[in-house]
Amino acid sequence: MTDATVSNAIAVRDNGPGAMVEQYKADLAMVMPSHVKPDTFVRLAVSVLRRDKNLTLAAQNNPAALMGALMEAARLGLEPGTEQYYLTPRKQKGRLEVQGIRGYQGEIELIYRAGAVSSVIVEVVRAKDHFSYSPGRDERPTHEIDWDAEDRGPLRLVYAYAVMKDGATSKVIVLNRAKVMEAKAMSTGSDSPYSPWQKHEESMWMKTAAHRLTKWVPTSAEYMREQLRAQAEVAAEKTAPLMPATAAPMPQPVTEDDGPIDAEFVDDDTAA
């Protein structure tokens, strides 16, 4: 899919960016994980484009940027136009273009999809909350909230951790306001009035902590590599030639049974 073909899609079909997304459904489906339904994905994308006039304008200004964002969402298996994956307008060389931003629900979804955790906890701490956590002493944070309070105060901290399937607790991520603001400053277009940092500040605090957590727990990418490896092994076994029924059994080398061999799997840290 080139910039020229994407631009031609709007020229040929005069129904706007939504029609272009429909036209490229097959291309999007090719990169989606098997659990994602292309019709649902496209319907969500078209819906958010129709709801937001600024986003529609951004898509018309640069159709390739729109399709690039949708391709990334499709590859990750995240729902576009939701808190899994935001579609937002941003100023680029004086005009609006579409920017795709992974949301906190998207980060959590990728952690769950790996199949190694039983739960993921991501919470913000406000000024009037009680929060306590000492690494090396506490397994998990203590966070007490006065739910009767009309105002819990401004955002103060955000934390994230996962409970693994065996009951163990992952590394606990705790970020203060200064650390979150550092992450915000590194995010392209975060000062734009269209950015989720402006419209969904609490969610973006949670996204920042959840993203840091992905470095310490199995991710969807790791899980998919293992799945593909297992599928390849099964396919190889099915296609291996069968021994003739009348053939004598092949002699096997005599070895000492030293018991099971311990192995250690080491995953590369691919998280951004």
Residues 234-255: tens digit of each pLDDT: 777 766 665 554 444 544 444 3
- Domain-terminating residue out of 52, 67, 102: 102
- Domain-terminating residue out of 102, 129, 150: 102
Do 60 and 44 share a domain, yes or no?
Answer: yes
For 53-88, the pLDDT digits (tens) are: 999 999 999 999 999 999 999 999 999 999 999 999
Q: How is residue 233 annotated by DSSP?
A: H
Q: Are 64 and 207 in contact (CB under 8 A)?
A: no
In which domain, by residue range, is 54 found? 3-102
Produce one character per residue of 57-80: b if its CB has 16 or more CB atoms within 10 Å, e if not: ebbbbbbbbbbbbbbbbbebbbbb
**Four-residue CA torsion sign, 61, 83, 172, 178:** positive
- Return the HEC string of 125-145: EECCCEEECCCCCCCCCEEEC
For 142-162, the pLDDT digits (tens) are: 999 999 999 999 999 999 999
Q: 142 forms bridges with which residues in the sheet?
A: 132
Do 128 and 98 share a domain, yes or no?
Answer: no
Model pTM above 0.75: no
List, in order, residues 6 or more apart from 159 with CB less than 8 Å away.
121, 122, 123, 125, 131, 133, 141, 143, 172, 173, 174, 175, 209
The closest of 77, 176, 75, 160 to 127, measured between CA atoms, is: 176
pLDDT surpassing 90 at residue 229? no
CA 181-185-191 angle, to 5 degrees, is 100
pLDDT mean across residues, the chain: 83
Count: domains in the chain? 2
Residue 267, domain member (yes or no): no
Do 176 and 161 share a domain, yes or no?
Answer: yes
Do 117 and 201 share a domain, yes or no?
Answer: yes
The closest of 70, 41, 40, 73 to 55, measured between CA atoms, is: 70
| Both structure tokens of 243 | 């021994």
Do 109 and 191 share a domain, yes or no?
Answer: yes
Residue 262, domain member (yes or no): no
**What was the pLDDT predicted at 223?**
57
**Four-residue CA torsion sign, 54, 202, 172, 226:** negative
| Both structure tokens of 201 | 């500040």
Residue 10, domain member (yes or no): yes
Do 131 and 151 share a domain, yes or no?
Answer: yes
Cα Rg for the chain, rounded, in angstroms? Answer: 24
How sure is the predictor about 265, in pLDDT bands with cuts at 50, 70 and 90?
A: very low
Q: Is the pLDDT higher at 236 or at 6?
A: 236
How sure is the predictor about 231, in pLDDT bands with cuts at 50, 70 and 90?
A: low
3-class secondary-structure state, position 96: strand
Query: Residue 259, by phi and psi: left (phi above 0), alpha (psi -120 to 50) or beta?
Result: left
Distance CA 99, CA 201 (A): 17
